[in-house]
Chains A and B, each alone.
Chain A
């Protein structure tokens, strides 16, 4: 799709926040402070007017200074006694009144101050200020994650483990609170605010030069749309990843720039189709998106071909039905209000009613999907369907995270957890964009190719997924290879081990990217040259070994040609073995 624009880059004007918190407290303290000043003034003034007596019995007036001194220690309940002379009755009467007055004044002032400090508006202003400061001081590139529910937290932990920085915005305090409660490697600033307000995104660092992308993961499609729009208008060209389950919203999002739209409902059907046609390709994909350290998933039961029964014809049901029909499977739909759709067998009614379910004739069906938006309904549907036909391939949609143990106990063949699916996909896109491209193109190469790749990966990496990393073969990033790179290096040579070149590094090149064109799983005789990008999967130490070859010209000389060259200049001159790369 062509990118519209370019939009003129705009700025989000922000109301000045500087010292707002101080002003807030001062504003609250106006009345108590004035009351305190008045009480003091009246008390001091009264003391100077009322005549006292000195030791000789002469009438004297208390000075302002003495009166102020006396009031200060009386009001603060310290009380040194009566100075400079013992008080007369009239003075004592006045002082009694002022003691009570001043105590009330102090209590009022201190009470107001504490109330102002505990005030919600004040604390919000304070936390907003702290958040703004933290975001402003961020120097490393960070992602702006909007919506920190289940998907956001899954993604957040994965990104944090990878060493990526984030800033989080969510409208629910309990979501942002998890940032304080859960363990994170780096400090993740979080703000409780409405993300549909552009100012919120501005405060959260949308305009910050280090902001490298926006991820919109709220439960609300509308909010995600607004976030994608705001990002496209304020920072055109900034990568945006947005989750939605509605095709209409997806279409509207694409009207602004080119955001990456993740629709878990859509993905479920795609994966089902892939697993139908190419189980190994599906296996490979699900292994690679799990991230480093993941065990190879055990090949699950392949989806059955035949007639499928889908309960629930909402956004998820429609999408799934279309995918199943595209895979040439017959589909029977059960829904309360199915609406007519040509080529589909529709059963109107509540699927949890036995007579309705019986109409679907489960005994002859191959697959059953409980796809309503209610977990209890889905669970009971699965149980009922199993009773009718234990051989059914069962798919189900889990809506709420708390239902996870129940679904696990039922041993669903193909479970959709929208939040996990979205988090995995976004993680794969963000961690290694090349990997994502590989996954997209891989599915077209068929089952045998995928099975072969899986075999190779197991041979080199074992059953645990090693690092999947990208290598840029440029002069800057691979200075060791400079003399050979322009002529081309056979991939098999490049992947020889620096410790013994007869051995091969435990690495499988997954994809070669050259001038925008890709070669998937390039063989060892493919030559790589300047400007190529390689996506590799290997064992834990392989990235370091390859980096050694790429950056150290002595290692490169050995790996590529087998010549042992001394590293030092003097030794090179003395032995006469001068590396090819010296110029």
Chain B
């Protein structure tokens, strides 16, 4: 068992679960989507990305790519949230909430691909 793999798996999975927790629920209801959870998802996703730096294998490169996609989506979601709460006068309207949550939904998809890659990597490792 390699500690590095455990930490890596932990963060990949945590990124996916946190994102799922934020995403789950009625798309347009701001009460169902906690901003603290979004914050945690962004932080964990950034850490996951950095953890993938410097892995020169093929699967490592794909991992990095999916992570970057998730980061982009989450940062877009965050910016939308900042716009809704700070700049627009309307606040978290159902429309704004929906776009924040759907952006995080895209990130969730990337997170799921990451998890799938992790599973594939683990199983091929076993076979060798």
Pair A41/B56 contact, Cβ less than 8 Å: no
Query: Within 8 Å of chain B (Cβ to Cβ): is A391?
Result: no
Question: How far is B36's CA from A48's CA once the two chains are assembled, in angstroms?
Answer: 9
Q: B71-113 toward A: CB 8 Å interface, digit per residue (1/0)?
A: 0000000000010011000000000000000000000000000
* Residues of chain A with a CB closer than 8 A to B85's CB: 63, 65
Q: B43-57 toward A: CB 8 Å interface, digit per residue (1/0)?
A: 100110011011010
Query: Within 8 Å of chain B (Cβ to Cβ): is A337?
Result: no
* Residues of chain A with a CB closer than 8 A to B50's CB: 29-30, 33-34, 37
Known: A63-B85, A64-B39. A23 touches B56 (CB 8 A): yes
* Residues of chain B with a CB closer than 8 A to A65's CB: 82, 85-86
Pair A45/B53 contact, Cβ less than 8 Å: no
Query: Within 8 Å of chain B (Cβ to Cβ): is A363?
Result: no
Interface size class of chain B, counting residues whose CB lies under 8 Å from the partner chain: 10 to 19
Pair B54/A27 contact, Cβ less than 8 Å: yes
Pair A20/B56 contact, Cβ less than 8 Å: yes
Question: How far is B85's CA from A28's CA once the two chains are assembled, in angstroms?
Answer: 38
Q: A37-49 toward B: CB 8 Å interface, digit per residue (1/0)?
A: 1101100110010
Q: How far is the CB of B20 from chain A (nearest CB, A)?
A: 19
The winner among A27, A38, A44, A65 for most chain B CB atoms within 10 A is A65
Query: Within 8 Å of chain A (Cβ to Cβ): is B35?
Result: yes
Question: How far is B88's CA from A171's CA once the two chains are assembled, in angstroms?
Answer: 65
A178-225: which residues lie under 8 A (CB-CB) from chain B?
none
Smallest Cβ-Cβ distance to A32: which chain B residue: B50
Pair A24/B54 contact, Cβ less than 8 Å: yes
Q: A55-74 toward B: CB 8 Å interface, digit per residue (1/0)?
A: 00000000111000000000
B23-79: which residues lie under 8 A (CB-CB) from chain A?
35-36, 39, 43, 46-47, 50-51, 53-54, 56
Smallest Cβ-Cβ distance to A24: which chain B residue: B54
Smallest Cβ-Cβ distance to A33: which chain B residue: B50
Query: Within 8 Å of chain B (Cβ to Cβ): is A26?
Result: yes
Pair B43/A41 contact, Cβ less than 8 Å: yes
* Residues of chain A with a CB closer than 8 A to B56's CB: 20, 23
* Residues of chain B with a CB closer than 8 A to A38's CB: 43, 47
Pair B54/A23 contact, Cβ less than 8 Å: yes
Pair B54/A37 contact, Cβ less than 8 Å: no
Of A20, A28, A37, the residue contacting B46 (CB under 8 A) is A37
Q: A221-245 toward B: CB 8 Å interface, digit per residue (1/0)?
A: 0000000000000000000000000
Pair B35/A37 contact, Cβ less than 8 Å: no
Pair B54/A34 contact, Cβ less than 8 Å: no
Question: How far is B50's CA from A28's CA once the two chains are assembled, in angstroms?
Answer: 11
Q: How far is the CB of B87 from chain A (nearest CB, A)?
A: 10
Of A26, A37, A44, the residue contacting B39 (CB under 8 A) is A44
Pair B82/A34 contact, Cβ less than 8 Å: no
Known: A63-B85, A65-B85. A37 touches B43 (CB 8 A): yes
Question: How far is B12's CA from A124's CA once the two chains are assembled, in angstroms?
Answer: 34
Of B35, B36, B51, B86, the residue contacting A34 (CB under 8 A) is B51
Question: How far is B54's CA from A20's CA once the two chains are assembled, in angstroms?
Answer: 9
Question: How far is B55's CA from A27's CA once the two chains are assembled, in angstroms?
Answer: 8
Pair A34/B39 contact, Cβ less than 8 Å: no
* Residues of chain B with a CB closer than 8 A to A48's CB: 36, 39
A359-413: which residues lie under 8 A (CB-CB) from chain B?
none
Question: How far is B24's CA from A516's CA once the two chains are assembled, in angstroms?
Answer: 87
Q: A1-31 toward B: CB 8 Å interface, digit per residue (1/0)?
A: 0000000000000000000100110111110
Q: How far is the CB of B109 from chain A (nearest CB, A)?
A: 23
Question: How far is B53's CA from A38's CA once the two chains are assembled, in angstroms?
Answer: 17
* Residues of chain B with a CB closer than 8 A to A24's CB: 54
Pair B35/A30 contact, Cβ less than 8 Å: no
Question: How far is B56's CA from A23's CA once the two chains are assembled, in angstroms?
Answer: 7
Pair A26/B54 contact, Cβ less than 8 Å: yes
Question: How far is B53's CA from A26's CA once the two chains are assembled, in angstroms?
Answer: 5
Pair B35/A64 contact, Cβ less than 8 Å: yes
Question: How far is B46's CA from A30's CA once the two chains are assembled, in angstroms?
Answer: 11
* Residues of chain B with a CB closer than 8 A to A37's CB: 43, 46-47, 50
Q: B108-124 toward A: CB 8 Å interface, digit per residue (1/0)?
A: 00000000000000000
Q: How far is the CB of A309 from chain B (nearest CB, A)?
A: 65
Known: A63-B85, A64-B35. A29 touches B53 (CB 8 A): yes
Question: How far is B39's CA from A48's CA once the two chains are assembled, in angstroms?
Answer: 11
Question: How far is B35's CA from A24's CA once the two chains are assembled, in angstroms?
Answer: 36
Smallest Cβ-Cβ distance to B45: which chain A residue: A37
Question: How far is B27's CA from A290's CA once the two chains are assembled, in angstroms?
Answer: 87
* Residues of chain A with a CB closer than 8 A to B46's CB: 37
Question: How far is B85's CA from A64's CA once the two chains are assembled, in angstroms?
Answer: 10
* Residues of chain A with a CB closer than 8 A to B47's CB: 34, 37-38
* 15 A-B residue pairs with CB within 8 Å: A20-B56, A26-B53, A26-B54, A27-B54, A28-B54, A29-B53, A34-B50, A41-B43, A44-B39, A45-B36, A45-B39, A48-B39, A63-B86, A64-B39, A65-B85
Question: 15 other contacts beyond A29-B50, A48-B36, with CB at 8 A cut-off?
Answer: A23-B54, A24-B54, A30-B51, A30-B53, A30-B54, A33-B53, A34-B50, A37-B47, A37-B50, A38-B47, A40-B43, A41-B43, A45-B39, A64-B35, A65-B86
**Which 10 residue pairs spanning A and B have beta carbons closest together?**
A27-B54, A26-B53, A41-B43, A33-B50, A26-B54, A65-B82, A37-B46, A30-B53, A34-B50, A23-B54
